[in-house]
Structures are given as C-alpha cells and as structure tokens.
Amino acid sequence: MNGYRQSSLRRLEVAALTLGTLLLATYAGAEWWYARARDEGIAAFDAARDQALRMSLASATGSELAANQIDMSNWSPQRVEQYREAARAVEVPLAVLRIPALHLEVPVFEGTSEQNLNRGAGRIAGTARIGEPGNVGIAAHRDGFFRVLKDVRIGDVLLLERADATDSYRIVSTIIVDPSDVSVLEPTATHSITLVTCFPFYYVGSAPRRFIVHAQRVSHEKTPAGGKKPAGVEGRVAFGR
C-alpha cells in the first residue's frame, strides 16, 4: 500500500513539474514575442521618419541623393537585415509613446484591432488624431505593454514622438471606470491623451473595469533635419517632476 502511495505521489510530482515547465516556457515565449513586436514597430517608425526627413532635406537643398538611400556601410549584417525585414513586414506606426519613469516604450498603431494590440498600442477610433488638438485615446493590453501603468504617478512625463515632432505631456489624473463609461474619451479643447487599459491588472479572465490615465500637453518640440532632438530637451521635460 505504501509503495502504491509513493508511486502515485511521484507521478503527481512529475506531472506538476511538467506543467510548471510548460507554463514557464509559454510565459517566456509570450514575453519574447511582445518584445519583438514592439521593437519591429519602433524600427519601422524610425525608418519611415528618417526617410521622410531625408526627402525633406533633399528637396530643400536640391541634393541628388536619393531619399531612400541610407548609408549602412558601418552597420552589422544582422542590423541591416533586421532593418530591411522591419521596413518590409511591419505597418508603420503613427507614433511611439514613451513614459520614461516606467521604462515604457511602445509603438502606437491606427485602430485597436487584436493584431495592433498584440504588437503595441492603438489609437481609439472616434478620438482625436495624433498631432491634432483634442483628446487622443490610446489603448493597450493590461497584461502586456500597459501593465506598467499600475506604477504610474501624477506628474510623470509622457512623450509622444511623431515623424516631425515630439510632444511632451504631463500625467494629471488616473481613474477606474466601468467599460460602459466612455465620458473619459470626450473631446477636449486642448491637446490631451487618455490611456485606456483593463483593470485589475492581474485579474484572471476578462477584467471587469478600465484603468484610465489622463495627460495634458506641456510642450511641443520640432524634430530638426537629421532626426536629432534639440539639445537639452530631455532635461527641460524632466525638470519639476
């Protein structure tokens, strides 16, 4: 009898270990996929921005340099291939959203399709368009890119990098609402951003509420030819946190 019990316990231990290993592998795979999708989106955004800047510079100076000619002579072969793969395969995001205090960096695509939310964040249809006055609604998964919002603080800086400018926002409020409460996405007279994700962050199953972060624009910096931000911009943005 004792032998049978020990054998049964051993089988349970093996099954539990196998299940645990599978769960860890699944989690690691999902984390890798999210990171890869994010990096590809940002690479595509950077490529499109650089190309637009080159076209603008060539037009302004009368240069004969082709707009799509990029000097890759000092790049590693791996970096060249990753650049080309990203430019071919990935839809160019509208912008890249960053919250430095949370180490958040995520591409923002047009629309909140499952594909877009799996590889980044998405602009919510019906809200202001990025770069225009009004309330821009941006959504992402709470078990993915927007999970770090659990640590957000009033006063944190939010940066929205577009092709020709970087807009700086300051987070002014957070609130938890029911999914049916769309008042948080109502238009505003000034430039603002509303981040939306499900809540609670670690809820098992379909989360019943929504976590809302509201930010207002505090400055607007044009990106000069060459793609470099003006010196000292980051210091001015961070000052007063």
Highest mean pLDDT of the ranges 79-83, 114-118, 233-237: 114-118
Domain 93-241 has CATH 2.40.260.10: yes
What does the pLDDT look like over 180-195, one tens digit per residue? Answer: 999 999 999 999 999 9
Angstrom CA distances, 216 to 4, 125, 177, stand at 67, 20, 20
The pLDDT value given to residue 116: 85
Catalogue the active-site residues.
141, 198
Asked whether 79 and 94 are in contact (CB, 8 A), the reply is: no
Q: What is the pLDDT of residues 157-213, one digit of tens each?
A: 999 999 888 999 999 999 999 999 999 999 999 999 999 999 999 998 899 999 999
The domain locations on the chain are 1-92, 93-241
Residue type, 86: A
Which of 111, 194, 191, 192 minimizes the C-alpha distance to 152? 194
| Tally of CA atoms within 13 A in the half-sphere of 75 that contains its CB | 11
d(CA 86, CA 81): 8
Taking 3-state DSSP, the helix, strand and coil percentages for the chain, each rounded to the nearest 5, stand at 40, 25, 35
